[in-house]
Amino acid sequence: MSPLISRLGSLQLTPWGLLLFAAGVLAILLGGVQPLWALLPGGTLLALNLAAGLLVHPQLKRSPGLLLFHLGLLAVALLALAGHLSRFEARIELVEGGSYDPDLLMALRAGPLHGDDWRHITFVQGPYSVDYDPGLERSHTRSTLYLPGEKGGWRQAEAGDDQPLVIDGYRFYTTWNKGFAVVLSWFPREGGQATGAVHMPAYPGMEWKQENDWRIPGSQETLHLSLHLPPRPPEDRAWQLRGERRTDVPLGVDVGGKRYELQAGQSLDLPQGRLKYEEVRGWMGYKIYYDPTLPWLFWTALVAICGLGWHYLHAFRTQQPDSGRAERVMAAVPREANGS
């Protein structure tokens, strides 16, 4: 046996691998370190230690359950490393009627082995509803989405906090981050038209500040927009938030020291062009997650646990006293030994 393999398979090396792995986890929690580079040293050391341990310790070969457990641990370590290399995480905010756009992704983190499939996802955001229990406790979230149908057209799907929309392995979860957006059309003096949405802060978390700024295209002038939503129900009542198209909410516009109030469909003439307030729509924030190793991690960990259970069950059975042998021993004792 090679001295290097003997050292790698030593049980004295295992605690150091665990400490190194724990330090990587701590570095991730404190921030500033990429998960891959934080976990790679400890994960690699543990994987080598387990692999060498299978060769160094012969007792593993005599116990199928223990061997299965260690092989499972080795597979879990390798799968965890592969998961970090291929993982994808991001966030996105989509307004009703808006299509998934990869350029809108925020907080994007992708492993070095991850491809660009996330750029080719297609779906359209629909309305959503969120149930609130008394005390402003968020309950069920239902977000309607439209995906391309197999025979053309669109098919309807639904996503929630615990029921993600899954497209090619990418899982889209709804989040607490949602609210309303103002749809505006801009008609510059030079001609043409541009329509877009200005997202207001999350609702009802920032109900008191439904405001945002919008800069006039081709200009340095900024408009301050404020949405005057009707009061929500009291906190001691259950209610439902509906993120859908509305035309009953007035919009405040502050520009040049003056304040204007527009109803849906009304316009405001400015020196640079004309601004039209179209309507209000809901927007939903999603958490996107992709890790192809998750199912394999689950089943591999389950196999490892079964192997450990098999090992302890076998050890327990072999330690049970042989009652038949005890009876035979007692029968062989002469009567004189009992004082008869």
163 domain-assigned: yes
Residue 309 and residue 258 share a domain: no
Residue 282 and residue 175 share a domain: yes
Task: Please report the pLDDT score of residue 26 as a whole number.
Answer: 78
Q: List the helix and strand counts (H, then E) for the chain.
A: 7, 15
Task: Please report the pLDDT score of residue 32 as a whole number.
Answer: 62
Task: Please report the pLDDT score of residue 330 as a whole number.
Answer: 53
Looking at 58-72, 233-247, 299-313, 320-334, which range is the least confident one? 320-334
Domain boundary among 290, 309, 332: 290
253 domain-assigned: yes
Q: How confident is the model at residue 326 (pLDDT cuts 50, 70, 90)?
A: low
pLDDT of residue 203 exceeding 80: yes
326 domain-assigned: no
Whole-prediction pTM value? 0.75
Contact status, residue 134 vs residue 235, Cβ threshold 8 Å: yes
11 domain-assigned: yes
Task: Please report the pLDDT score of residue 305 as a whole number.
Answer: 84
One-letter amino acid identity for 329?
V
- The most confident of the ranges 76-80, 116-120, 218-222, 336-340 is 116-120
Residue 122 and residue 76 share a domain: no
Residue 250 and residue 300 share a domain: no
What secondary structure letter does DSSP report for 274? E
Q: How confident is the model at residue 29 (pLDDT cuts 50, 70, 90)?
A: low
Contact status, residue 269 vs residue 256, Cβ threshold 8 Å: no
Residue 245 and residue 136 share a domain: yes
- Cα–chain center distance at 136: 24
Name the one residue in this structure whose structure tokens are 């049970």.
320
The tally of domains found in the chain comes to 2
Residue 117 and residue 255 share a domain: yes
Residue 176 and residue 98 share a domain: yes
332 domain-assigned: no
Which residue would you say has higher pLDDT here, 162 or 328? 162
One-letter amino acid identity for 161?
D
Contact status, residue 223 vs residue 314, Cβ threshold 8 Å: no
Looking at 6-15, 31-40, 221-230, 245-254, which range is the least confident one? 31-40
| Cα separation values, 265 from 1, 191, 259, 279, 283, Å | 82, 19, 18, 7, 20
Contact status, residue 292 vs residue 169, Cβ threshold 8 Å: yes
- Angstrom distance (rounded) from CA 124 to CA 330: 82
Residue 120 and residue 65 share a domain: no
63 domain-assigned: yes
336 domain-assigned: no
Instruction: Report the mean per-residue pLDDT for the chain.
Output: 86
Order of strands across the sheet with 154-159? 154-159, 137-148, 124-133, 239-243
Q: How confident is the model at residue 337 (pLDDT cuts 50, 70, 90)?
A: very low
Which residue would you say has higher pLDDT here, 320 or 138? 138
Residue 107 and residue 128 share a domain: yes
Residue 225 and residue 123 share a domain: yes
pLDDT of residue 130 exceeding 90: yes
Name beta bridge partners: 240: 131
Pair of tokens at residue 180: 């309303």
240 domain-assigned: yes
**HEC assignment per residue over 304-323:** HHHHHHHHHHHHHHHCCCCH
Residue 167 and residue 33 share a domain: no
pLDDT digits (tens, 9 = 90+) for 290-307: 988 888 888 888 888 888
In terms of residue numbers, what domain contains 258?
A: 91-290
Contact status, residue 279 vs residue 180, Cβ threshold 8 Å: no
Residue 62 and residue 171 share a domain: no
